[in-house]
Amino acid sequence: MPTPVQVEIATGRIEGQWRDGVARFLALPYAEPLCPERRLRAPLPRQAWSGVRAAHAPGHAVPQEHAGFLGVGECGEDCLHLNIWSPGLQGQHAVMVWVHGGGFLNGSNAQAIYDGEQLARAQNVVVVSVNYRLGLAGFGDWRAYPELAADTNCGLRDLILALQWVQTQIAVFGGDPQRVTLFGESAGGMAVASLLSVEVARSLFQRAIVQSGSADHIYLPQYAQQVTARMREQMPDLQSLAAASWPQWLRAQRSTLRMLMPRGRAKPQIMQYGMPALPYIDDDLLSPSLWTAARDTRPLLLGVTRDEWSIFLHHPELMGGKKAEPKVLDEADFARLVQRGVPARAAALSAAYSDLLAGESVEARMIMFETDRIFTMSSLKLAEAAADRSWFYRMDWICAGLRQLGACHIVDLPFVFANLDTPWGQFFAGSRASAAALSRLMQDHWGHFAREGCPGGSWPAYGSSAQVQVFSENPHLESDPYRQRREIWQSQGVW
């Protein structure tokens, strides 16, 4: 039975709950609500309250269209808050701040798959999960419309304010502000990688974990502005845009979902679609001179799942998309996919992947190519640049509930958070003893990294030998398993 616990923070008194040796405080606001006039402005620190604020229940998610996405829950304007799980309010525990995924369009810190209680208990760390602005409220470039008085990269600014809150308040919860690990998956991992390049965030976290993310999911300003202009066109005038309700705003945002834009600075260009809202170069937070995540000196743990893209191919509805229509895939489908993704090198890349996977199905080639294009190659490039201060992994666990998905995107999440008994944990991980053992192993590595700045055991740094830790039924190390695929991208100048 939970028992109440109260603490005092800078903005007032709060009451959380002790449960099985872990104190949880839910929906602690770090910023003021997102009323329409504040929707495109930098976040304001939360004002103090009187009395005792209950922190027992999850808070609202940031307004979004797919609130059913992995159990996001109810949305609302008072959504810039964080959850905390602490193994003890005394002492100085390492802190792990989680940034959720969802394509910068969906997601919430209240999703059950991200519950931090088990991680806090098992690794003796304070776990924090954060909400931040999504879509073109969080990542639209509105500078072409000075009447809106908009700030840039508001989603990143939200995360920075939350990290500043952690620096000043986490000691009350038994956390050490000098041992903060920022970690996230998918869009959350991309946000973490982006913040490695933000000077004002440099002192706010000391280590980073990037799960199925990368440092090149960033727009140059001209492309961010094109996406924003498309949404602007859906409204009769700027006044209507500024005063729009959240449902109106989100309907207008739909117009951007099918846009095809180059991401990063690679030449030839790698195209981005389905994620119209990305962090972008703004000459303020993300300036060209500071876009140097690959040269950052902080310890970095990062990796991918083996078959990231399979879930987007077979069951995009699990990722907040439309259900895929059954279809027999053929060579023309593969050719179109590669042409859309890297148009300037489509012929060469199509041939290379067909040779590499000779005898394999079209589906297998599509999954490997998109997994590499979106996730793996940019993650490897970041690990290679970090070398002896980076550790790389590959998740090979096959989705228990639908083996067709293989080791798909987000299959790693229930293992890291040890939420194997939740519905999504059962779907992705299953109930075998080997799943629980793998979860303990991954948690031990993540926790050791948060406490000491390196994973535990005999997992070597990526270094010059490109060592990769494989998480599977039988965890093991592999030396440079991506060599052939990496050489394909290097030979085409896309590296």
Residues known to be catalytic = 186
Q: How far apart are CA 396 and CA 473, in angstroms?
A: 8
DSSP letter for 110, please: T
Identify the CA nearest to 196 among candidates 226, 216, 167, 222. Answer: 216
Mark 276-294 as b/e (b = at least 16 C-beta within 10 Å). bbbbbbbeebbeeebbebb
State the Cα torsion 24-26-31-35 to the nearest 10°: 180
Measured CA to CA in angstroms, residue 473 lies from 43, 283, 416, 437, 441 at distances of 44, 46, 15, 9, 11
Measured CA to CA in angstroms, residue 59 lies from 130, 305, 322, 373, 463 at distances of 11, 30, 27, 35, 42
Taking every pair of Cα atoms in the chain, the longest distance, rounded to a whole number of angstroms, is: 68
Residues contacting 432, CB < 8 A, separation 6+: 400
The pair of three-digit structure tokens given for residue 249, joined into one six-digit string: 């705003």
Q: How far apart are CA 110 and CA 116, in angstroms?
A: 10
Determine if residue 275 is left, alpha or beta; phi over 0 gives left, psi from -120 to 50 gives alpha, anything else beta.
beta
Identify the CA nearest to 272 among candidates 157, 380, 375, 385. Answer: 375
CA quadruple 307, 313, 316, 321: dihedral sign: positive
Measured CA to CA in angstroms, residue 51 lies from 13, 15, 48, 80, 144 at distances of 7, 10, 10, 21, 44
Burial class of residue 235, CB neighbours in 10 A (0-12, 13-18, 19+):
middle
Place of tokens 């059913």: 68
Place of tokens 């055991």: 457
Place of tokens 């964080």: 82
Place of tokens 């993650």: 379
CB atoms within 10 A of CB 91: 13
**Extended beta strands in 20-147, E state:** 22-29, 52-54, 81-86, 93-99, 126-130
Polymer length of the chain:
495
DSSP letter for 360, please: S
